[in-house]
Amino acid sequence: MGLQLTGIHHLTAITANAPANLHFYTQVLGLRLVKKTVNQDDTTAYHLFYADGAASPGTDLTFFDWPVGPERRGTHSVARTGLRVSGRASLDWWKARLDAHGVTSGAVTEIDGRAAIDFEDGEGQRFRLLDDGGLAPSHPWERSPVPAEHQIKGLGPIVLSVPALETTQAVLTHVMNMAESRTYPSPDGEGTVHVFSMGEGGPAAELHVAVQPGLPVARQGAGAVHHVAFRTPDAEGLKAWTERLKGFRLPSSGEVERYYFRSLYFREPNGILFEIATDGPGFAVDEPMETLGESLSLPPFLEHKRQQIEARLKPLVEA
């Protein structure tokens, strides 16, 4: 099989309202804030990481806080983010919870053979809660407002929208060693969705590519996804991926030290930003697991600027 990615690592999106974002993802969705830090390339912006109780790779939903207008939806984009739960009973529970909190959501339905609910946050960030069949482990957060049996277990699948499949398909299969396994009609009625699997597959390791030539080109803003990251176990694996991209003459960032993981960035042919990231060392590298996310964390290369960084950040008061 050669070099293999092992699944979705994290997904990074854009918010223009960090306090409301914090409230929604911790108090409504019940995720754990596992890291409160800043965008390492723009230290005036928060970078908030939400995950499961153990801050496991593959569960991180992260946000850059930028003062921007709403996104323009369309193709050349990450169109929807899957969030996995266990069982149809959990989806019924979530439907009632989303309705009680006034969250825009659809009915419980079946998509690609799995029970699912589509919903949006207050800025229009698009999600799909789906039953993962109890396949993946669960690491509940004991202080979550959501009961352990209904908590979100992690990310996947991720849905991309592209106007044409061929060039993206070539990168996913020939460069990234994904396997195309099946297709299904897009639930929005626009085009066909092609499913690509990583490693052992399953919903935590799938990328769903919707071919939608009739849509306008997306423009990023609040409610948009900035990039999607895929898992490689360690630095040795990341080095192998870096060399592999070079071998295909695919432009990339080269390896980037993010402190909590090492990363490699590149764009697939339709312009969507991809990242490959290591599973470790993880979020407990600079603060105890018990108190993750409770204070502002800065990587060592930014620590000497802490005073000026903190002075420029808006208070992160829950809405």
* Overall domain count for the chain: 1
Residue 113 lies in a domain: yes
Spatial neighbors of 154 by CB under 8 A, at least 6 apart, are 8, 52, 56, 58, 59, 83, 84, 136, 204
Which residue carries 């800065």 as its tokens?
A: 298
> Does residue 126 sit in helix, strand or coil?
strand
Residue 318 lies in a domain: no
What is the per-residue pLDDT for 314? 87
* CATH number of the domain residue 146 falls in: 3.10.180.10
Residue 1 lies in a domain: no
Residue 317 lies in a domain: no
The values of phi and psi at residue 52, to 5°, are -80, -175
Residue 103 lies in a domain: yes
Encoded tokens for 218: 């997306």
Contact 149, 90 (CB under 8 A): yes
pLDDT tens-digit map of 120-174: 999 999 999 999 988 778 999 999 999 999 999 999 999 999 999 999 999 999 9
pTM (two decimals): 0.97
Q: For residues 132 and 116, give the distance between their C-alpha atoms in angstroms, rounded to a whole number.
A: 10
Low-confidence residues in the chain, pLDDT < 70? 1, 318-319
Residue 319 lies in a domain: no
- Give all strands of the β-sheet with 154-162 in edge-to-edge order: 109-111, 114-120, 126-131, 77-85, 154-162, 206-211, 192-197, 179-185
Domain that includes residue 266, residue range: 8-312
